[in-house]
Amino acid sequence: STLTLLGGSVAAMVVWKWLGKKMIQKKMEEARRTRDEGLKKMAKAVQQFREQVPSAHTDAILSLPLLALTERLREGSLSPKTVLYTYLEKALEVNQQTNCLRHFIPECEEQLQEIEQKKEKGLLYGIPISIKDHIGHKGHLSTCGLVQCLDTLMKEDSVLVKVLKRQGAIPFAMTNVPQSLFSYDCSNLIFGQTLNPLNHQKSPGGSSGGEGALIAGGGSILGIGSDIGGSIRLPSSFCGLCGLKPTAERLRWVPSVDICSCPTPVSCALGPMARDVDSLALCMRALLCEEMFRLDPTVPPIPFNGEVYCSSTPLRVGYYDTDGYFPLPPCVQRALKETRSALQAAGHQLVPFSPPRIPYVMTELFLKTFFADGGRAWLDVFTGDIVDPSLKPQVNLCKIPRPVKKLLALLLKPLRLIKATPLLLKDVTIVSTCRSVKEMWNHHYQIQAYRSEFITRWKELHLDVVLCPVLGPAFTPGYPGKLLTAISSTMLYNVLNFPAGVVPVSTVTEADEEELKLYQGCCEDPWDRTLKQAVSGAVGMPVAVQCVALPWQEELCLRFMKEVETLSREE
């Protein structure tokens, strides 16, 4: 009878799990159906417009840079309606190729009528703009790629969306993200994998991957992403775009859903993504306005400083080719060397700079910030969900029982600096936790102390800005989940809370691909071999560099990015 009872309990548990999985799958199917219905409605609206205005010069509109487009809209030689439907049509086309859209925003048609009636024309008057999935828009979901977020519609627009609308922009699409946002791939089990429009065998990066794919494919001229470890800069690098991660408090983000929103000493930053640096500068100028400061008094009332952005004073540029933690492919080293030479030839002063203690920052500061509880809060977001395969390596590591985690952390900690380090060791602090409130306070202090140390070194060299690597070229889908700590090049400036931007300067050549075959990385360990596999087959794909300034100096960062962009285009 005991065996019968046990067998019955096991059978009941299996049935319960099966029913739960079926309910999850049903919710996913409903979300996909809603998305598809929205796409069909937009396609129908575009078709109706085409029938009414068959002579619209689609290609000419899509080829205009943002500054030229805003000028044409303000002077009236182009109508907001023509521009909106042109981009809606192109977005539908890009989505068919890449699966980058999470949802169209049908209210964009109502907003179109509103702005056409207004006498006042904002800085972004008539500009269609796309926004990342989790940036709140009234009446729409903020899913984070999670089933538990499919039931709650946003009650109001986020502050950033309100300001964009006040400036005349028309949010028209929300873009796809990886499940839970904690990935630099772009895949979730609800809406699927997003592909890179430049090469469908490659990932667009993440977590702002839908934005990267849509803008790079020509379906949006300006987008808003977010960045807590590289989530604006990595998609920009993978897709050949310009992207800016500002100082986090310059465009403050308030979570629209209670998912992974625990306060941490490393803040999430909102920022623009576009095809050129001038577009980023215009977006920042538009956002840093009285309306922003009125709606969110916690944002410092510092308007955009156009004088700094337009300055031509020679810069003192610190530079480094590697952070000493995760060596990047040969094409990135080549791009940095060429950019340095171009800057020097243009009259800027180049100064070698070595960022201190990156292994310590990556493991003890960055990863420990998010896994201070051993990953329990993060695991909770998958309750009532099915984990996307791309996240399983991290999820499985977090599921290791706590006593085993402590033992692993203790045993493996002395071995971190040994060459040929096993794959697990670079993830060791995911299993290393803060064991008390005092230890957590000390962790916060260590981050502040490191920021002070870094700024002191910067000031000693009298630097204006820093030129450094960014991870690239684009990975093959699935590999970001195997190489979490490859993001050391970007995460550093999240820990420091410095403004940092990415500019594409080159493309992968056949010679780069040949040199990759000889790539050994740091110590030819499993990480180095996996990176080699992740970036191979990328001939013709963009290669970018990263530009950095001190906190609150977004204008200087953008000015440096503009200089790099101009020089790379001359090359």
Catalytic-role residue among 90, 132, 165, 202: 132
Spatial neighbors of 464 by CB under 8 A, at least 6 apart, are 315, 316, 317, 549, 556, 560
The answer to the question of whether 181 is labelled as a binding residue is yes
Catalytic-role residue among 183, 203, 208, 231: 231
Annotation marks residue 354 as catalytic: no
The answer to the question of whether 228 is labelled as a binding residue is yes
The answer to the question of whether 568 is labelled as a binding residue is no
Query: Alpha helix (H) ranges present in 266-361?
Result: 277-287, 290-295, 306-309, 330-345, 358-360
Catalytic-role residue among 207, 208, 390, 506: 207
Helix, strand and coil percent figures for the chain, each rounded to 5 = 50, 10, 40
What residues are paired with 468 via a beta bridge?
Answer: 546
Annotation marks residue 226 as catalytic: no
User: How big is the CA angle at 139 (ends 136 and 145), to the nearest 5 degrees?
Assistant: 55
The answer to the question of whether 536 is labelled as a binding residue is no
The answer to the question of whether 221 is labelled as a binding residue is no
For 375: left if phi > 0, alpha if psi spans -120 to 50, otherwise beta; the answer is left
Contact present, 278 and 65 (Cβ < 8 Å) = yes
DSSP-derived secondary structure for 51-62: HH-TT--HHHHH
Rounded to whole angstroms, what are the CA distances from 144 to 179, 196, 255, 382?
6, 20, 11, 11
* 68-87 exposure pattern, b = at least 16 Cβ within 10 A, e = fewer: ebbebbeeeebbbbbbbbbb
The answer to the question of whether 141 is labelled as a binding residue is no
Annotation marks residue 312 as catalytic: no
Q: Report the alpha-carbon distance of residue 180 to residue 392 in Å, rounded.
A: 12
Collapsing DSSP states into helix, strand and coil, what is residue 231?
coil
Q: Report the alpha-carbon distance of residue 301 to residue 325 in Å, rounded.
A: 38
Q: Which residues are known to be catalytic?
A: 132, 207, 231
- Could you tell me which residues are annotated as the binding site for substrate? 181, 207, 228-231
- Could you tell me which residues are annotated as the binding site? 181, 207, 228-231
